[in-house]
């Protein structure tokens, strides 16, 4: 039976370095012990207090009584032939969330989820189909990078908040997690290698600028409101005439910065040359990079991908107008880990044995 006085242990994975300092001070220790504790957890990936050898034995024992480092386990790993791996994390309440690890030469990118499901209902995205379950905690966001670092032996070089969920709809937890990911005592990911992708929650974009410093990617997908309303329904609330100025304000004052516009190429829907012309007009004067993403089909979706040659023609239009434009290489398709394919579904046994290992 749980005692009436039973206090839930503090999960240290939810704490940034200042919180860690305050926490050890509340136990009667000095702030630098908190910084050491934070380093053990994140830099060294240690989960067991007894291994934190530069903390006194008394502090380690105290920590074991009142705190824990609760890391959701990877319950399934699916490797794809191209080296991409999808990790399914099992959360304390039985929910599942997906993280994608994408190696590319010396660069290692980890694609993080920020929510279980998503409430935004974009018509071309598989995550939308499962609806919204809940926000991830700070620790659950950070745990995805903790695991990546343990597995690759060093911090990942790049992080993208492009997995399941809308990061700006889980604002406070995401901002705090970003701070931990950027901290020199933890994962040291620089603002140029840490990209938050949003569908365009305008007030939160303004707020983000004051609370954090990361690169911003925006899921644009259409060059006008009529079309964007149908693909990214949040556009009805925050139309382009509000979204574009918010993005410009985000990078204002820093000449090295630009906005990355994600644009899923959907056959016959948003991929005509007319759309490229409209896009050029829309983005004129905004330092931009356009990232064209071939639509990744998923079961039950009404759309199909634009043929490669047409994507290239679209890209050439943008280049000719002076925009930096790339086509995103699709990775991890075979394991449903590509953009828009993350659904937090647990594979049945046959698929599991076919595609990966169950841990
Ligand atoms: N909610 C945030 C973060 C998710 S990022 C956002 O919308 O930006 C996931 C990226 O993959 C987004 O750019 C999204 O638009 C894109 N995407 C979604 N479904 C896709 C699909 N079926 N094919 C290709 N890209 C897709």
Structural domain includes residue 349: no
Q: Note whether 128 and 42 are same-domain residues.
A: no
Structural domain includes residue 301: yes
Structural domain includes residue 346: no
Q: Note whether 22 and 90 are same-domain residues.
A: no
Catalytic residue among 21, 77, 98, 140: 98
Residue 4 has pLDDT above 60, yes or no: no
Minimal-distance CA residue to ligand 1 atom 21: 340
Q: What is the pLDDT of residues 22-59, one digit of tens each?
A: 999 999 999 999 999 999 999 999 999 999 999 999 99
Please report, for the domain that includes residue 180, its CATH number: 3.20.20.70
Q: Which among 40, 68, 96 is the end of a domain?
A: 68
Residue 349 has pLDDT above 50, yes or no: no
Catalytic residue among 111, 125, 247, 339: 339
Q: Note whether 11 and 138 are same-domain residues.
A: no
Note the pTM of the prediction, 2 decimals.
0.92
Structural domain includes residue 352: no
Q: Note whether 96 and 225 are same-domain residues.
A: yes
Q: Which of 99, 128, 170, 264 to mutate to test the pocket of ligand 1 (most atoms within 8 A of CB)?
A: 264
User: And the tokens for 279?
Assistant: 């896009």
| Helix spans in the chain (H) | 17-26, 31-42, 57-66, 126-129, 138-152, 171-182, 202-211, 225-231, 240-251, 273-283, 308-320, 349-355
For the chain, percent helix, then strand, then coil, each to nearest 5?
Answer: 40, 20, 40
Residue 347 has pLDDT above 50, yes or no: no
What's the CA gap between 122 and 174, in Å, rounded? 21
**340 close to 331: Cβ distance less than 8 angstroms:** no
Residue 8: closest CA among 67, 88, 57: 67
Bridging pattern class, strands 96-104 and 85-90:
antiparallel
Domain that holds residue 245: 74-335
Active site residue 98: yes
Residue 351 has pLDDT above 70, yes or no: no
Structural domain includes residue 353: no
Residue 7 has pLDDT above 80, yes or no: no
Q: Note whether 238 and 266 are same-domain residues.
A: yes
Structural domain includes residue 261: yes
Q: Note whether 59 and 142 are same-domain residues.
A: no
Quick one: CA dihedral 176, 102, 330, 349, positive or negative? negative
- Tell me which of 171 and 127 has the higher pLDDT: 171
Atom of ligand 1 nearest to the CA of 125: 19
Structural domain includes residue 140: yes
Q: Note whether 36 and 101 are same-domain residues.
A: no
Q: Quote the pLDDT of residue 348.
A: 33
Quick one: CA dihedral 180, 183, 184, 189, positive or negative? positive
Structural domain includes residue 343: no
Q: What is the pLDDT of residues 201-210, one digit of tens each?
A: 999 999 999 9
What's the CA gap between 69 and 12, in Å, rounded? 5
Q: What is the pLDDT of residues 145-187, one digit of tens each?
A: 999 999 999 999 999 999 999 999 999 999 999 999 999 999 9
User: And the tokens for 350?
Assistant: 């046959």
Exposure of 65 by Cβ count < 10 A (0-12 exposed, 13-18 middle, 19+ buried)?
exposed
pLDDT band at 3 (very low <50, low <70, confident <90, very high): very low
Q: Quote the pLDDT of residue 89.
A: 97
How many domains does one find in the chain? 2
Residue 132 has pLDDT above 70, yes or no: yes
With a Cβ cut-off of 6 Å, ligand 1 is lined by 124-125, 162, 166, 197-199, 219, 262, 264, 293, 295-296, 339-340
110 forms bridges with which residues in the sheet?
101, 159
**295 close to 306: Cβ distance less than 8 angstroms:** yes
Residue 274 has pLDDT above 80, yes or no: yes
Active site residue 242: no
Mean pLDDT within 297-318: 95
Please report, for the domain that includes residue 49, its CATH number: 1.10.150.530
Q: Note whether 109 and 29 are same-domain residues.
A: no
Neighbours of 28 (CB within 10 A): 10
Q: Note whether 239 and 320 are same-domain residues.
A: yes
Minimal-distance CA residue to ligand 1 atom 8: 198
What's the CA gap between 69 and 143, in Å, rounded? 10
Residue 290 has pLDDT above 80, yes or no: yes
Q: Quote the pLDDT of residue 51.
A: 97
Residue 358 has pLDDT above 90, yes or no: no
Q: Note whether 92 and 10 are same-domain residues.
A: no
What's the CA gap between 306 and 83, in Å, rounded? 25
Minimal-distance CA residue to ligand 1 atom 9: 162
Q: Quote the pLDDT of residue 130.
A: 86
């Amino acid at each position: 039976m749980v005692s009436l006085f039973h206090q839930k242990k503090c999960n240290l994975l939810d704490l940034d370095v200042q919180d860690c300092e305050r926490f050890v001070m509340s136990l009667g220790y000095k702030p630098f012990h908190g910084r050491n504790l934070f380093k053990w957890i994140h830099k060294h990936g240690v989960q067991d207090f007894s291994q934190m050898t530069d903390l006194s034995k008394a502090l380690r024992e105290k920590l074991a009584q009142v705190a824990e480092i609760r890391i959701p386990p990877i319950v399934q790993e699916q490797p794809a032939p191209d080296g991409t791996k999808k990790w399914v994390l099992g959360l304390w309440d039985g929910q599942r969330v997906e993280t994608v690890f994408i190696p590319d030469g010396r660069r290692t990118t980890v694609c993080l989820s920020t929510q279980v499901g998503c409430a935004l209902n974009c018509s071309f995205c598989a995550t939308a189909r499962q609806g919204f379950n809940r926000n991830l905690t700070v620790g659950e966001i950070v745990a995805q990078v903790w695991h990546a670092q343990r597995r690759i032996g060093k911090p990942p070089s790049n992080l993208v908040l492009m997995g399941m969920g809308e990061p700006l709809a889980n604002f406070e937890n995401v901002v705090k997690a970003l701070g931990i990911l950027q901290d020199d005592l933890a994962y040291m990911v620089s603002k140029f290698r840490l990209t938050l992708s949003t569908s365009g929650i305008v007030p939160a974009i303004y707020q983000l600028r004051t609370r954090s410093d990361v690169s911003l990617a925006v899921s644009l997908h259409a060059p006008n409101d009529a079309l964007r309303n149908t693909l990214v329904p949040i556009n009805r609330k925050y139309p382009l005439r509000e979204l574009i100025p918010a993005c410009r304000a985000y990078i204002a004052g820093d000449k090295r910065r630009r906005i990355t516009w994600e644009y899923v190429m959907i056959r016959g829907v948003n991929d005509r040359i007319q759309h490229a012309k409209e896009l050029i007009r829309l983005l004129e004067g905004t330092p931009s990079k356009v990232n064209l993403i071939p639509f990744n089909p998923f079961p039950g979706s009404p759309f199909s991908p634009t043929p490669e040659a047409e994507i290239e023609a679209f890209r050439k239009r943008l280049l000719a107008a002076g925009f930096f434009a790339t086509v995103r290489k699709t990775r991890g398709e075979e394991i449903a880990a590509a953009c828009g394919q993350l659904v937090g579904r647990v594979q049945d046994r046959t698929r599991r044995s076919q595609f990966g290992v169950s841990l």
